[in-house]
Amino acid sequence: MHAARSRRGWLALAAILVGALALRLWGIAQGLPYAYNSDENAHFAPKAIAMFSGGLNPGYFANPPAFTYLLHVLYAAWFGGGAAARHALVAHPTEVFVLGRVAAALLGTLAVWLLYLVGTRLFTRAVGLLAAALEAVAFLPVFYAHLALNDVPTLAPLTLALLGAAGVLRKGRRRDYLMAGIGLGLGCATKYTAGIVVLPMLAAAACQYLDAPQVRARVAVGMALAGAAALASFLIANPYALLDFNAFHAELNHQSQLSGEAQGKLGAGHEGGVRYYLWSLTWGLGWLPALAALGGTVTVWRKEERLGWLLVPAPLLFLAFMGLQGRYFGRWLLPIFPIVCLLAAFFTLQAVEALAVRSKGWVLRGRVSRTAMIAVAAVALCAQALVYTVHSDLLLSRADTRTLTREWMVMHIPAGTKIVAEPVSPDVWASDIGHFNYATPEGARWIKYSSLRSVIAANGALVGEPGRRVGIEDYERTLSPALIGWYERQGYCWVITGSTQSGRAQAEPGAVPNAVAYYRALAQQAQVVYRVSPYSPGEGPVAFNFDWSFDYYPLAYHRPGPEMIVYRLHGGSCQSA
């Protein structure tokens, strides 16, 4: 009986891991050869390639470089050297970004396996399996495993640290302290907010120290070992935090200031960070798991007080700290997902056990088995996440609206034509990857107006010619109906807009009235020659949101990307164009 149960457990774990990897690889090449996510396009993979010519100093520390170094090693092995890797980024970026995304997907799957081990060590194999299944299908960990970003890779070392903390609580061996320290250091070197996992480690050590006075010296040695391992692993994965300390310290402060300021994020919600993150859990993880995790924060203390101290303070303090920042995004919650999944799985199985006891007569008569009850509970817990994750993978396997728009432009707008394209993605509209176009001064396919250079007076008039460069967050503040006439006089006869920009203005029209007037004038004065929607027929539009407008969570979406419109101007020099 025990052998059969063990075999079923291993088969269930194998199915969870295979399913987790499949969900993370499905649609892995979405958008390519253009990396439409601005963070993916600017960081990690490009930085890893740049290290072949610029040295191993990442040159920036807004994001810690552990994942960048991992990709650098991967690219060196895959391409056989720096010259081939640099050429691939320019001529064949699909291969570069797919490799980075696969690395993220594999690390995300590794995190699922480690979470199973944590659940098994702290509770039972059933809790470990259910927690792993929940993280395997949860929307946010799956969606961001499709991008070469550091959010999902961070989960692997972070969960390793959690596994070490669980070992400290249960055994208190030096290897457990060492594991916790290594995971903590590597986690922080991948994403700074992974440092939250230090709380479970401290809680586990404190429990050992208070519960068993005879091992206090061993706890002190273990904590020293964990601290040394954390520092060493952090510096190994982020050596220039020490070698270039001034730059590291300056950028760390700058990043902290950016996270704390609310200004500049036009279209961001103003409901408050804690409320936003609690809402994010209802879709990033699921309503039922979120409620189960809430129940777990209460009931875990009755199971074992030490488990409460290990698991509960970290997510609560993380929510409080992150909620006080001026900017907030759903994916910033990922560092607490492993703990939340554990609490949800524990509470669900406790509820099933309580129901089984109350329904003992039914169970004994064979009408309902405990295994069947657990299976039903697991399906209910994972159902929402699985539906939305599969939907997400389906739409990621379809062409992006920006790709379709560019294909239309290639067919209908001659090379060398002047165009205006909003910054709805990194500046890829004018590029012909791997080809130099001699019809334009810089070798691009079209002559693209620099959308981030405008000077608009308070009355909405254009002051001289566009010249002052602004940040992307201020793009909507550069818009005015006066620009349309300027476009026409200068021969910019094609204007490409996207809902991820116009949606910001529509979300806060009082903040940018000139931008609202600009879009209204554009719709009235210009001819719509091409439009493509990301929504299913009869669905949408989805109100602008800094999560859903970029991760396409609502079922109304049919393909990735914003709603794209190509306008043709006919005034001024555009009359004869």
pLDDT tens for the chain, 577 residues long, are 566 677 888 899 999 999 999 999 999 999 999 999 989 998 999 999 999 998 899 888 889 999 999 999 999 999 998 899 999 998 899 999 999 999 999 999 999 999 999 999 999 999 999 999 999 999 999 999 999 999 999 999 999 999 999 999 999 999 999 999 999 999 999 999 999 999 999 999 999 888 877 788 899 999 999 999 999 999 999 999 998 888 887 877 766 666 555 445 777 776 788 999 999 999 999 999 999 999 999 999 998 999 999 999 999 999 999 988 878 899 999 999 999 999 999 999 999 888 877 766 555 455 457 778 888 899 999 999 999 999 999 999 999 999 999 999 999 999 889 999 998 877 767 777 767 666 666 778 898 887 766 555 545 455 445 555 667 777 888 888 988 988 998 899 999 999 999 999 998 888 889 899 999 999 999 999 999 999 999 887 899 999 999 999 999 999 999 999 999 999 888 977 6
User: Would you call 170 helix, strand, or coil by DSSP?
Assistant: helix
pLDDT, position 2? 65
In which domain, by residue range, is 338 found?
2-396
d(CA 522, CA 502): 12
453 and 350 within one domain: no
My answer on whether 304 and 407 are in the same domain is no
Whether residue 184 is found in the same domain as residue 305: yes
SS percent in the chain: helix, strand, coil, step 5: 65, 5, 30
pLDDT at site 100 = 97
Q: From the CA atom positions of the chain, what is the Rg in Å?
A: 26
Query: Are residues 88 and 75 part of one domain?
Result: yes
Per-residue confidence (pLDDT) for residue 458, from 0 to 100: 46
How far apart CA 250 and CA 99 sit, in angstroms, is: 31
Backbone phi, then psi, for 211, in 5-degree steps?
Answer: -80, -30
Q: For residues 427-449, b (16+ Cβ closer than 10 Å) or e, as one string?
A: ebbbbeeeeebeebeeebbbbbb
Residue after which a domain boundary falls, among 396, 412, 430: 396
Angstrom CA distances, 17 to 14, 213, 285, 425, stand at 5, 41, 18, 33
Beta-carbon neighbour count of residue 253 at 10 Å? 10
- Do 407 and 382 fall within a single domain? no
Calpha distance 456→481 (Å, rounded) = 10
Q: Which residues on neighbouring strands pair with residue 564, listed in sequence order?
A: 498, 532
Residues 484 and 439 in one domain: yes
Predicted TM-score (pTM) of the model is 0.93
Residue whose entry in the numeric block shows the structure tokens 């601290």:
227
Number of C-beta neighbours around residue 148 at 10 A: 30
pLDDT at 258: 61
β pairing state of 527-532 and 447-448 = unpaired
Task: Point out the domain boundary residue: 381, 396, 411.
Answer: 396
> Residue 400: which of 565, 562, 543 has the closest Cα?
562
Rounded distance between C-alpha atoms, residue 247 and residue 61, angstroms: 8
Q: How far apart are CA 166 and CA 202, in angstroms?
A: 11
Q: How many domains does the chain have?
A: 2
CA distance 30 to 376: 34
pLDDT value at residue 448: 87
Same domain, 63 and 179: yes
> Are residue 444 and residue 385 in the same domain, yes or no?
no
SS (H, E, C) 268-332: CCCCCHHHHHHHHHHHHHHHHHHHHHHHHHHHHHHHCHHHHHHHCHHHHHHHHHHHCCCCCCHHH
Co-location of 380 and 511 in the same domain: no
> For residue 495, what are the CA distances in angstroms to 126, 365, 413, 487, 566?
57, 71, 11, 9, 6
The interaxial angle of helices 198-211 and 155-170, nearest 10 deg, is 0
Q: Are 181 and 233 in contact (CB under 8 A)?
A: yes
Whole-angstrom distance, CA of residue 245 vs CA of residue 446: 42
SS (H, E, C) 367-409: CCCHHHHHHHHHHHHHHHHHHHHHHHHHHHCCCCHHHHHHHHH
The H or E element containing residue 565 is: strand 564-568
The Cα–Cα gap between 166 and 177 comes to: 10
Residues facing 447 on adjacent strands: 418
Is 168:206 a contact under the CB 8 Å cutoff? no
**386 in the Ramachandran plot: left (φ > 0), alpha (ψ -120 to 50) or beta?**
alpha
Are the C-beta atoms of residues 445 and 410 closer than 8 Å to each other? yes
Rounded to an integer, what distance in angstroms lies between the CA atom of residue 22 and that of residue 259?
33
How far apart (Å, rounded) are the C-alpha atoms in residues 350 and 347? 5
Distance CA 62, CA 65 (A): 9
Residues 436 and 311 in one domain: no
Which residue(s) pair with 462 in the sheet? 456
DSSP string for 26-89: TTTTTTTTS--SHHHHHSSHHHHHHHHHH-S--S--SS-SHHHHHHHHHHHHHHSSHHHHHHHH
Together in a domain, 387 and 406? no
Residue where one domain finishes, among candidates 374, 396, 418: 396
503, 544 contact by CB (below 8 A):
yes
Distance CA 178, CA 164 (A): 7
C-alpha torsion angle, residues 98, 101, 105, 108 (rounded to 10): 170
Residue 360 and residue 416 in one domain:
no
Alpha carbons 326 and 201: distance in angstroms, whole number: 29
Handedness of CA 378, 379, 384, 390 (dihedral sign): positive
